[in-house]
Structure 1
Amino acid sequence: MGSASSSLDDAAAAGAEAANAAYAQLAGAQPGLVIVYASIRYDLPALLAGVRGVTGEAPLIGASTSGQFSDGGYLPPDTGVSVLMLAASPYRFGAAMVDGIGADTLDAGRELARRAMAAVGGDTPYSALLVLADGMSADMQSLLTGMYRVTGARVPVVGGAAGDDRTFSGTKVFFGDRVMQDAAVAVWIGSDHPLRVVSGHGWQPRTLPMLVTRVNGMIVEEIDGRPATEVFSETVAKDTQARSEYFEGAWEGWHTGHSFSLIEPDGTQLIRGAFVDQNGVLSTFVPLPEYCAVQIVSADREALLQASEELVGDALRETIDPAVLLMFSCIARTDLLDTRAAEEPARVHKAAGPVSTFGFYTYGEFGRSTGVAGYHNATITALAL
């Protein structure tokens, strides 16, 4: 494998510079898969043309980002482009895309997984699905549920929702030379050995488990039969430890370092970002199921960073001769880490030792390894190859 970044201002030149540097590391091998992460400040079709001028017709997927990281280096939003190239062996890659995901997200997820599985050509003993999607156009958990109807429990899913340098003007995904909105791309990865998708977050519970008794889309109306905003605000007011100055105003609407933890039947917890808007309405970034069990959670900087380091060991455990750790970290984590945001990529790369690290900052993360659920907020997910 090979990876490199560029911060040149010219889109085509930046794409070519990063691609040439990554290609040089392949030691004569041809790329079997190309992954591109880029700031939306670029002319993205020109940038992809610069990359493909080096990689030719090799399968290419990618996404716009809200920052990137590679081998310990941190590229903040509005900065540059990162390119990863993987040789075809020892894996088999099947790339696919689907557009119009907002119209019927469940069916789009099912079709995306079907196309990716068909593209890999034939069965392999083990598989994983890498997914990048326009998370601003659809419910990503619904997309994941659709994919699960094809993959079943045996195929883990990893990836992230594209970013847009925190402008919220629209996110993009890439497929070949195409730049698309309201779309998702995926790579079915066939392997002769098991592939392990892991996730971690560092958030800690501040309440006992509670029942969400009424929701309306992304609006949480009742918890334990009480007005949800009251329940949430009471916890925030009591939890003075997590109301430190660096959390205030970290994200428009996200005024505290508190979220929901969705408790799964197997005991795992999925983080769901939550905020109280100017009208006093409690909302989440991903809908909570009615009558689900939740806890209100918070996190401090050191806990977030420690969870990222621990994730590396979990991801590399039982992986045979790993070359790269594909990672997806939420932009909300950089908000909470604030001036220490660059520590996360530095610490995960140090923990990975000789293994390369490559990832981007997302608007939500895929990390499904057990059960149907597996779309996260404020979490970091990973797959070692």
Structure 2
Amino acid sequence: MSSEQSPGTVVATGTSIADAGEQAGREATSAARTALDADRVDFCQVFADAAFDPERVLAGVRAAVDEDTAVVGCTAAGTFTEERTMDRGVAVGVVTSDSFQFDTAIASGLGENIQGTVREAARSLPDDVDYPYQSALVLHDGLSGIGERLSLAIQRRLGPHVGFAGGAASDNFRMESTPVFCGETVAEDALVLVLVSGEDRAVISVDHGHEPISEPHEVTDVDGNLVREIDGEPAFEVWKDTVRDHVSETFGLDVDSSQVDAPQLQRLMGAYEFGIDQGDGYKIRWPRTAVGESGSLRFAVDIPEGTVLRVMHGSPESQIESAGRAASEAVELADGEIAGGFVYDCACREIILQDEYPAAVDALAEVFDTPFAGFETYGELCMQMGQLSGFHNTTTVVFVFPE
């Protein structure tokens, strides 16, 4: 599916907190289209709270755009635009442009064959385009647990010169269903690819606000994303020993008294994640759930044996500052005016920020001063030229269009 072209590069956003999914999708998209003030919509990305029926949301969105508009999206734990944040709502971003082209594809089967799913999606994208620069947007099922392998498979397929950004669909920490949307299709265990071709290169940036609070620990027993042992001890016990005092001082909670499947403990795991030293900074890894009977930790992504980890934490102030840094880097890289874009922000940051989460969105808005739509993910994708790793947690990823 390809979008047509229209004068200028303009981005607009809309939101809705209507109770019914179809109404929310239609209201948010209509508001965005009105703000766009253009004859057509080339591209539309929708982020819908997981409490809504995604098929009804998508029906409402499609009713408010053109028949040939490229539409993608996913379920979300929380949504936002430059104007508001929502615990339960729909956020939509729309683009019209004569300098960017949008081609979309969806494929299912991530759990069985990552490379095959990426290959199937990429086959639906054009081999040749009449623009000098390509980048991509990526959405995928947030419960797949294959973010790092997925980012590498996409890089191999699209090539090292195609940077990409995106996020893992989320569902308010229920860990039940995180589908993605493309065209008229809603699918789980699926991947959405958007090839963004342009006369200029879209701008991608990333930042996080975490610092280490522990000594290095080595992963000594692991199966995919299930880490059984760290330093030869049950992984869950190592995590608890490390965070116990910090959690007590910061949150006034006792990690030992929390049930393994309790929402409180799952949220603490989002506040105290692990970091991998990259030399010039840390890449964050989220221990999504604890497996109490075995003392294991199930991460949001595969963790190779021998990986050296540190437990990380970030204050609300550092999380707000990191959002502003991600926006500032994008502005610097753009080397000119920005039309607007999309933001993929980890749901774990909301755990840390709590009532201050809107301040992080405000930090983005103050730097950009242009429209953007985003959601709280179960992991962020950001792969740029020269990088060897593209999956992140508790991170802000920005994708914006130069004017």
TM-score norm. by structure 1 comes to: 0.89
**2:77 counterpart of 1:66:** yes
Between the aligned residues of both structures, percent identity stands at 27
1:27 aligns with 2:37: yes
Does the 8 A contact of 2:228 with 2:234 survive in 1?
Answer: yes
Deviations along 1:337-362, one digit per CA (max 9) or x if unpaired, are 1222222212221222x222210111
Quick check: 1:298 aligned with 2:313?
yes
Partners of 1:346 and 1:247 lie apart in 2 by 33
Is the 2:379–2:393 Cα contact (8 Å) retained in structure 1?
yes
Q: Provide the rounded CA distance (Å) in 1 between the counterparts of 2:20 and 2:50.
A: 13
SS in 2 for 1:45: helix
Correspondence for 1:255 among 260, 264, 268: 268
CA contact (8 A) 2:145 2:301 kept: no
Give, as a single letter, the amino acid of the residue that structure 2 aligns with 1:42. F
Shift of 1:231: 4.0
Stretches of structure 2 that go unaligned for 5 or more consecutive residues are 1-10, 256-261
Residue 358 (structure 1) aligned with residue 373 (structure 2): yes
Q: Distance in 2 between matches of 1:209 and 1:114?
A: 43
Q: 1:80 aligns with which of 86, 89, 92?
A: 89
Q: 2:120 aligns with which of 107, 111, 116?
A: 111
CA deviation vs aligned residue, 1:138-190 (integer Å, no higher than 9, x gap): 51222222111122322111111111233322111111122211111111111
- 2:348 maps to 332
Taking a change above 3 Å as real, the CA distance of residues 358 and 222 of structure 1, as seen in their structure-2 partners, is same
1:269 aligns with 2:282: yes
Contact 2:146–2:300 (Cα < 8 Å) also in 1: no
Q: Deviations over 1:353-377 (max 9, x none)?
A: x222210111111111242311111
Q: 1:11-50 alignment to 2 at 5 Å?
A: 11-50=21-60
The AA in structure 2 aligned to 1:85 is: V
C-alpha contact (below 8 Å) 2:145/2:300 kept by paired residues: no
* Letter of the 2:107 counterpart: V
Describe the shift of the 1:201–1:247 C-alpha distance in structure 2 as closer, same or farther (beyond 3 A): farther
Deviations 1:250-302 (A, max 9, x none): 744343532111234x6442200126543332332222112223322111111
1:133 aligns with 2:140: yes
Return closer, same or farther for 1:21/1:255 CA change in 2, 3 Å cut-off.
closer
Aligned AA for 1:273?
W
Give a deviation string over 1:26-70, Cα, whole Å, max 9, x none.
223411111111123333333322222221221100111111000
2:6 aligns with none
Question: Secondary structure at the residue paired with 1:342?
Answer: helix
1:1-385 aligned at under 5 Å gives the runs 1-57=11-67, 58-76=69-87, 79-118=88-127, 121-122=128-129, 124-225=131-232, 228-237=235-244, 239=246, 243-245=250-252, 251-255=264-268, 257-264=271-278, 267-274=280-287, 276-279=290-293, 280-319=295-334, 320-352=336-368, 354-369=369-384, 370-385=386-401
Number of residues of Structure 1 aligned to a counterpart in Structure 2: 379
Give, as a single letter, the amino acid of the residue that structure 1 aligns with 2:304: P
Comparing 177-186 with 204-213, greater Cα deviation is found at 204-213
Pairwise CA RMSD: 2.5
Give 1:380's aligned amino acid: T
Structure 1 unmatched ranges of 5 or more? none
Q: How far apart in 2 are the matches of 1:304 and 1:344?
A: 7
The whole-number CA distance in structure 1 between the counterparts of 2:239 and 2:57 is: 44
Counterpart-to-counterpart distance in 2, 1:12 and 1:225:
51
Please give the alpha-carbon distance, in whole angstroms, between the structure 2 residues aligned to 1:227 and 1:252: 17
Partner amino acid for 2:275?
S
Question: For residue 259 of structure 2, what is the aligned residue in structure 1?
Answer: none
TM-score calculated relative to the size of structure 2: 0.86
Q: Which amino acid aligns with 1:271?
A: I
- Asked whether the equivalents of residues 71 and 357 of structure 1 are also in contact (C-alpha less than 8 Å), the reply is yes
Greater mean deviation of Cα atoms: 98-107 or 275-284: 275-284
Deviations 1:10-40 (A, max 9, x none): 3333222222221122223411111111123
Q: Distance in 1 between matches of 2:83 and 2:252?
A: 27
Question: 3-state DSSP class of the match of 2:148?
Answer: helix
Shift in Å, 1:333: 1.0
How far does the alpha carbon of each residue in 1:59-116 deviate from its partner, in whole angstroms, 9 at most, with x for none?
100111111000141111xx22122110032211111111122110132124334433
Aligned mates of 2:248, 2:163 — CA distance in 1: 36
Distance 2:240 2:265 in 1: 17
Q: Distance in 2 between matches of 1:238 and 1:374?
A: 32
Q: Is the 8 A contact 2:379 2:394 kept in 1?
A: yes
Residues of 2 paired with 1:224 and 1:193: CA distance? 48
Q: Which moved more, 1:224-233 or 1:367-376?
A: 224-233
1:210–1:293 Cα contact (<8 Å) kept: yes
Answer yes or no: is the 8 Å Cα contact 1:33–1:88 preserved in 2: no
| 268-277 vs 313-322, which moves further | 268-277
Equivalent-residue separation in structure 2 for 1:48 and 1:276 (angstroms) = 34
